Amino acid sequence: MVKDFIFPDVGEGITEGVVVKWRVKEGDVIKEHDVLAEIETDKAVAEIPSPFSGVVLKIHHQAGDTVHVGEVLVTIGEKGEKIPVRKSVSVVGTLEEAEDTPTTGSKVKPTTKQSNGKLALPAVRNLAKELGVNLDDVRGTGKDGRITENDVREATTLERDSGEKMTEITVKRKYDFYGYVDRVPLKGMRKAIAVNMARSASQAVHVTHFEEVDVTDLVAHREKEKARAEQKGIKLTYLPFIVRAVVESLKNHPYMNATMEEEEIILKKYYNIGIAVDTGDGLIVPNIKRAETKSIMDMAREIHDLSEKVKSRRFDRSETQGGTFTITNVGAIGGVFATPITNPPECAILAVGAIREKPVVIGGKIVIRKIMPLSLSFDHRITDGAEAARFVNELKGYLEDMDFFLMEKTESA
């Protein structure tokens, strides 16, 4: 029996994805649970398994295409079978939902039911609105009578064939008044980042506080500890030290470790510290869960492992969820100060600049010290500039005090 496998509703508000790579080709014999394709959804690359066995009769999207929930990915049947008219085809497009865990939170699927009783995802309703299609007149071919995007597009085709509606042709020129241009579709991870940052900029009231920290002693301490870390197969950077100092500072300044929900400020009593990772296509922010319970060496190992997983796009979505505070290391590429945008719904984000030698006055004498720039952006709805300054002052104190880090070494010895 010929069946269409549609791009399934994977939950968490995802309505589209980009085909990264097909693992099968037309004519291949596949088994149930074999991976059909890799599709980039939001910020992760998901492997899409087949719900049944058979022969791949037709692949409906090419690598690089954007596919929406409800659109047909691939048609599967028996060898030699022909693909019938779309409306006579059985449609399968569901995935088993993983059980919720404390780190992922509850999953909320997009509302599909309309007041008139029709079933349609938000993306389908938006498409119908754009194309001027009345969903009351559309017969759904999806599960439980759900209207898919293909149903909406077929409705526009029927209207065009009957002469009732003509599709407008859009021309996109490869040049403007001044010269030639390239057009890059906003899709996949870049689109997700754009939506997320626009939401942050439009909802949060951003203010940035700047400070410089003398980390001369920290630099020397880290250099000394690098050899011990390498013996354990750990790459020791400055980030674990910064995370440790941030967590201690957050304990005394809870409004920096908070979110806002409607008319309530939620003060988090746990510390999931996000580390922004540059993938080349954009930043992804996995977080160290319960950082307050982990040593500097443990965090160094976890930061490295998370970074590698993110760069290869083989991380679990739960690893980017539940963050309470974010650190972004602009100094890794030579940056000094920045005005970072908070990672919603978090209150604050800390940008760490490149450590540079600068002349400073100590005891009336000019000496050369190693200085680390800090830029703290925060949501002014949740807290104020005075509290941000107190938080950064405490953070500065920890980063300049080697006894703070040596105490951990003594306690773990």
**Active centre residues (catalytic):** 380
Place of tokens 């510390």: 271
| Alpha-carbon distances, residue 392 vs 168, 169, 250, 263 (angstroms) | 56, 56, 10, 27
Contact (Cβ atoms closer than 8 angstroms) between residue 340 and residue 351? yes
Contact (Cβ atoms closer than 8 angstroms) between residue 285 and residue 320? yes
Contact (Cβ atoms closer than 8 angstroms) between residue 59 and residue 25? yes
| Alpha-carbon distances, residue 17 vs 12, 46, 48, 67, 136 (angstroms) | 13, 9, 11, 5, 27
Query: Which letter does DSSP use for residue 339 in this model?
Result: -
How buried is residue 353: exposed, middle or buried, by Cβ count under 10 Å (0-12/13-18/19+)? buried
Instruction: List beta partners, residue 94.
Output: none
Helix (H) or strand (E) holding 256: none
Question: Largest Cα–Cα distance of the chain, in whole Å?
Answer: 89
